[in-house]
Amino acid sequence: MRSLSRTAVVANIVLGTLLLLCISLTAQDKIVWSDQEKPIVEQIRGLRKLDDNVRARTTRDLALQIRQLPSVPNKLRLAGALANLSTEGDFGRDTLQEVTTTLADALRELLPAAKQGELNPLYVELASLVRYEHMRATSDDPQFTQAMTSLEDADAVREKADFALSNLQGKTWHLRELRGKTVLVNFWATWCPPCRKEMPDLQALYDRYKDQGFVVLAISNEEAAKVAPFIAERNITYPVLLDPGGKAAQLFQVDGIPKSFVYDRNGKLAAQSIDMRTRSQFLDMLKQAGLQ
């Protein structure tokens, strides 16, 4: 299992984010949806437009509907796409558990094969829900075990990760020189709607805890000319770092954004997110790092 290269693991994780293409492609897409599947496809397409409370109920209902579909490949596509969207915030642990159960059941029914030297991204999705969202799911497929191992290996790399990046004012921030502080590393971009949605909560937490040794390092691989006005318009005061070429993102094996990592005062990786977080979810991550 550990012989699988880190590049191959990351490539497969990235493929997981492409599951949404199954939903968002135009009518020219080769996927043929049944009459039973089409309403589910349309609802998944519209999830991001819903109020969070409505989105939570709709997500739960969709998970149950997908579970009742016949055991055909489209069932896996829909289960994976729903799981991919269900970590964009906090829609309730019961809802996320239903989504996780639906994905696990679909994988168990359909047993997708792996290509030589690769992991099926749906098993990575399921393993991520178990490891990072603490959902309940089991699988006898070796791919699930391999996916869990790959996530453990990636976290071991992140535990030792270091970088020295400059902020918009030209100051260099060196991650490992911040021992003694609680550090939240956040990967984001100006074009990313979930990134924009979580930024006010990050700012509020920074304002609340910065005098207690809390540091936010928000990293973008975009140009300063694009980032600077965006940050100024939103009155963001925590450090925003530039990552030309995305080298820090590669080091952290970032497969999609937003993604956050929290280090405690001893430099230990205490918590991380799969996706966008709400203020309460960020608070839970900070508590895991000992910040109350």
Domain boundaries, the chain: 6-157, 164-288
Could you list the pLDDT tens digit for every one of the 292 residues in the chain? 222 233 333 333 333 344 444 444 334 458 899 999 999 999 999 999 999 999 999 999 999 999 999 999 999 999 999 999 999 999 999 999 999 999 999 999 998 877 777 889 999 999 999 999 999 999 999 999 999 999 999 999 999 999 999 999 999 999 999 999 999 999 999 999 999 999 999 999 999 999 999 999 999 999 999 999 999 999 999 999 999 999 999 999 998 999 999 999 999 999 999 999 999 999 999 999 999 8
Separation of alpha carbons 241 and 249, rounded Å = 12
Q: Rounded distance, CA 90 to CA 199, Å?
A: 15
Instruction: Note the pLDDT of residue 29.
Output: 58
The CATH number of the structural domain formed by 164-288 is: 3.40.30.10
Q: Which residues contact 198 (CB under 8 A, 6 or more apart)?
A: 258, 276, 277, 278, 282
- What tokens were used for 81? 């796409």
Cross-strand bridge partners of residue 5: none
What does the pLDDT read at residue 30? Answer: 80
The pTM (predicted TM-score) of the whole model is: 0.85
